[in-house]
């Protein structure tokens, strides 16, 4: 059975990284953007990372520019923005596509394990759905990710156990991470 440990990704300098190096850790894998309305998620993500990294937790950050051109910078520009504005210390990888024919295989896998089920209820979520649907129309059945800051929770065995859309409250994401770390 395939797990996230079977994937090789590129770091922000273009070097190959096997995700098997994270074996035994609880992971939160996130597609991010520096110019998105959800960019402030970096702050609670970094706080969570600082609180839990010594308990076997890692956040893996994958910048993506496929949503309304909200991550147009180079890997280095994105990294500088995140470290200077939000003090991020968790691993940041190379910029990728998460949808379409060039989607990174990791994100295609994550989304196949935990498919999109909607952004939730409410006016804000309905507005995001409309905007995301327009943006993702070009990807057809390869629109794996709805928007920036979609998060996947992976257990210590490398299995995808939860998907959190960007509209989910970060306190709820943190509570799920804490539950998984306690196992």
Residues in the chain: 183
The token pair at 160 is 């995808």
Q: What is the distance between the alpha carbons of residues 36 and 63, in angstroms, rounded to a whole number?
A: 11
Residues in a beta bridge with 8 = 18
DSSP 8-state assignment for residue 23:
T
Catalytic status, residue 36: yes
Please pick, among 36, 45, 96, 111, the residue that the annotation labels catalytic. 36
Q: 75 Cβ partners below 8 Å, 6+ apart?
A: 12, 13, 63, 92, 94, 95
Closest CA to 145 of 33, 27, 2, 19: 33
Residues in a beta bridge with 9 = 17
For the annotated catalytic residues, the residue numbers are 36
């Amino acid at each position: 059975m395939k797990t996230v440990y079977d994937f090789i990704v590129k770091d922000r300098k273009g070097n190959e990284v096997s995700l098997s190096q994270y074996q035994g850790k609880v992971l939160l894998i996130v597609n991010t953007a520096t110019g998105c309305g959800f960019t402030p998620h970096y702050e609670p993500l970094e706080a969570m990372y600082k609180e839990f990294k010594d308990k076997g937790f890692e956040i893996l950050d994958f910048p993506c520019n496929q949503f309304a051109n909200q991550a147009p910078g180079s890997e280095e520009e994105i990294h500088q923005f995140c470290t200077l504005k939000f003090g991020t210390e968790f691993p940041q990888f190379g910029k990728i596509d998460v949808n379409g024919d060039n989607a990174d295989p990791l994100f295609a896998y994550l989304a196949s394990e935990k498919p999109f089920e909607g952004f939730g209820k409410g006016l804000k979520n309905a507005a995001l759905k409309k905007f995301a649907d327009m943006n993702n129309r070009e990807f057809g059945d390869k629109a794996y990710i709805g928007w920036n800051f979609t998060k996947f929770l992976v257990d210590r065995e490398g299995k995808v156990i939860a998907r959190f859309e960007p509209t989910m409250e970060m306190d709820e994401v943190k509570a799920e991470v804490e539950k998984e770390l306690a196992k």
